Amino acid sequence: MSNFHLDAPNLGRMSSTRTVVAASNADTVLTAAQSIESVITMTPASTDKAITTATASAILTALGDGGRLGSSFEITIVNVASATRAITFTAGSGITLGGATAMATVAAATSCTFVGVVTATGTPAITFYRKGG
């Protein structure tokens, strides 16, 4: 007889699909839905650009029951610029970017995936970590 029992496990947000969003050639603030399980593409033309997450509160609302402490989700930023122009992934209210500041930069002709982890629900807080290189 096993003592292992799954009673309402917290599996976080699981998704088999991702939304692809083509951001304009301007600094962009994402909606809550765009901040969760999305691929954001952008082609910075004349200057470096920023992509900013929605607020932690808005993201937790969008996650619904999946927005429990420790839940995680991903967002991928794709920089389609052929050379020079970078995209900086920036934090909305209640969001923290884990790691060094340079880790938030997505160089031209590269992509980067960030994992968001819900770190508080009373006063909503989410920390994003860069995944891989």
- Domain-by-domain residue ranges, the chain? 19-131
pTM of the model: 0.84
Q: What is the pLDDT of residue 16?
A: 55
Do 13 and 71 touch, CB atoms closer than 8 A?
yes
Per-block average pLDDT, block size 10, for the chain (133 residues)?
Answer: 49 65 92 96 94 97 90 95 93 93 92 96 95 77
Sheet hosting strand 28-29, strand order edge to edge: 28-29, 49-52, 87-90, 105-106
CATH topology of domain 19-131: Jelly Rolls (2.60.120)
